[in-house]
Amino acid sequence: MDEALKDNILGALENVIDPELGIDIVNLGLVYKVDLDDDGLCTVEMTLTSIGCPLGPQIVDQVKTALAELPEIQDTEVNIVWNPPWNKDMMSRYAKIALGVS
């Protein structure tokens, strides 16, 4: 997958907002890996801010909806992983400023 397409995928994922924190999943550092195969299947490896996050299914649906807008993507598979565990150091500078985290 070329960098431009990866940027497009990450750009689409920036429209997926974590409902609890009000920041997108990319800037929160929740997206670990994106991949696209020759058949147009996009695989997103991501985590959630907490294992018991009740909004996980809602976030997964939003990821699929956001990526369905891209013409290169035929289907999306979202894998929720817990390793490495998410922590606030994974957030972008923007997210840290927005949430008042140093």
Tens-digit pLDDT profile for residues 41-98: 999 999 998 888 788 999 999 999 999 999 999 999 999 999 999 999 999 999 999 9
Contacts of 39 (CB under 8 A, 6+ apart): 74
Strand partners, 85: none
pTM above 0.75?
yes
pLDDT higher than 90, residue 1:
no
**Which stretches does DSSP call E strand in the chain?**
31-36, 41-46, 75-80
- Which option is the CATH number for 3-96: 2.40.50.100, 3.40.50.880, 3.30.300.130, 3.20.20.20? 3.30.300.130
